[in-house]
Amino acid sequence: MSVGSKPSHKDAYNLILEAIDTGLFKPGDRLVESDLAERFKVSRTPIREALQRLETQSLLARDGRSLIVSTLDHNQKTELYAVRTELEGLAARLAARHATIEEVRVLGDLVVSDRDLLGDPSALSWANRRFHKQIHLASHNRYLVQQLDLVHRSMALMATTSLAVEGRSETALDEHQAIVDAIAQRDEERAFAALRGHISEAFVTRLRLDSSSKSNL
């Protein structure tokens, strides 16, 4: 994009998507076309088209005449984690088969550096997405990466991170290390099982978190 030019239609979409992904816009937040145009310095036409695209992808939902950031119900979360478990497990299996030595080193380095973020759930949540993305890329399967991008995009619709639950961050990083060890040893089945188990534990933590929040209402 040249200096002084307005963001394109694609840029408007990515700007709103990033705002959802980073938590700037949270589930239930109302998105107003004029406000978004002013915030992102984009004309209303690309904003309108971006909102329509996000609604088609179920990241936004209708609330009367307005659009709000979608909120996932229990069944949607269950479906999302079911798909994520299978796809991420496959990514780990393929990573154990195809990852380069350098990619394995990067994965190991991420686990080490992420331990410095313990106590900061927000930073660790971002680091967690980075770690999983690296596994996706190490699978060397572009179609799988595309599908996992869609899954992780929907994960942004969860208002809180399971890593904020006491003790979960430390356990999650230990699970990450087990995944890396299996990939490094080219053990496809162990990598598959380790990542599936990791996602399963994250889902259990998520369910407990949701149950706790409902009991406090």
Burial grade of 68 (CB within 10 A; 0-12, 13-18, 19 or more): middle
Q: Please work out, in degrees rounded to the nearest 5, the angle formed at the alpha carbon of residue 151 by the alpha carbons of 95 and 144.
A: 35
Architecture of domain 9-69 in this structure:
Orthogonal Bundle (1.10)
> Which pLDDT does position 104 carry in this prediction?
98
- Which residues are within 8 A (CB) of 182 and not within 5 positions of it... i.e. 6 or more apart? 92, 96, 190, 191, 194
216 three-state secondary structure: coil
Portions of the chain given CATH number 1.20.120.530: 74-215
DSSP secondary structure code for residue 116 in this structure: G
User: Among candidates 79, 84, 67, which has minimal Cα distance to 16?
Assistant: 67
> Which pLDDT does position 209 carry in this prediction?
83
* Average pLDDT for the chain: 90
> Which pLDDT does position 156 carry in this prediction?
81
pLDDT band at 3 (very low <50, low <70, confident <90, very high): very low
| CA–CA gap between residue 186 and residue 163 (Å, rounded) | 28
For residue range 96-109, what is the model confidence (pLDDT) as tens digits? 999 999 999 999 99
For residue range 51-109, what is the model confidence (pLDDT) as tens digits? 999 999 889 999 888 899 998 889 999 999 999 999 999 999 999 999 999 999 999 99
For residue range 173-188, what is the model confidence (pLDDT) as tens digits? 999 999 999 999 999 9
Q: What are the distances in angstroms from CA 103 to CA 52, 146, 180, 184, 199? A: 37, 19, 10, 10, 21
CATH for 74-215 is: 1.20.120.530
Portions of the chain given CATH number 1.10.10.10: 9-69
Of 92-96, 139-143, 204-208, the least confident: 204-208
Percentage of the residues of the chain whose pLDDT score is greater than 90: 68
